[in-house]
Amino acid sequence: MIIKEGANQLNVRMELIVITGNLSGKVTDVATGVAIPGVTVTLGGNTTSTDTSGNYGFSGVPVGNYAITFSKTGYNTVTM
C-alpha cells in the first residue's frame, strides 16, 4: 500500500498474524488419582473427549479468555 501526503510517499506493508495455541491436560479422579476416560471436555464452541488415559487436547485455539467444562455421568460437572 502506498500512502501519499503532498510530495512524500510511504510504502507500507501490512501482515495479519493470528496467534493460536494448544490446550491439553489430563482428567483424574480426586479420590483415587486414576485417569477418567470418556469425559466430555468443552472449550468455547469445541468439544472433545478424554482418551483411555484421561488425556484431552485442543489445537489452534485463538488467544482469549475461555470457560472450560468437564462432564461425565456419575461425576459433578466442573466449569473453570
**pLDDT on residue 24:** 97
**pLDDT on residue 58:** 97
Does residue 3 fall inside a structural domain?
no
Does residue 56 fall inside a structural domain?
yes
Task: Output the nine-digit C-alpha cell for 65.
Answer: 479468555
Does residue 32 fall inside a structural domain?
yes
**pLDDT on residue 18:** 82
Sign, CA dihedral 42-46-21-15, equals: negative
Per-residue pLDDT of the chain (80 residues; tens, 9 = 90+): 555 666 777 777 778 788 999 999 999 999 999 999 999 999 999 999 999 999 999 999 998 999 999 999 999 999 99
Domain count, the chain: 1
- CB hemisphere CA count around 21 (13 angstroms): 7
Does residue 10 fall inside a structural domain?
no
Range of the domain at 69: 22-79
Does residue 43 fall inside a structural domain?
yes
Q: CATH no. for residue 73?
A: 2.60.40.1120
Does residue 34 fall inside a structural domain?
yes
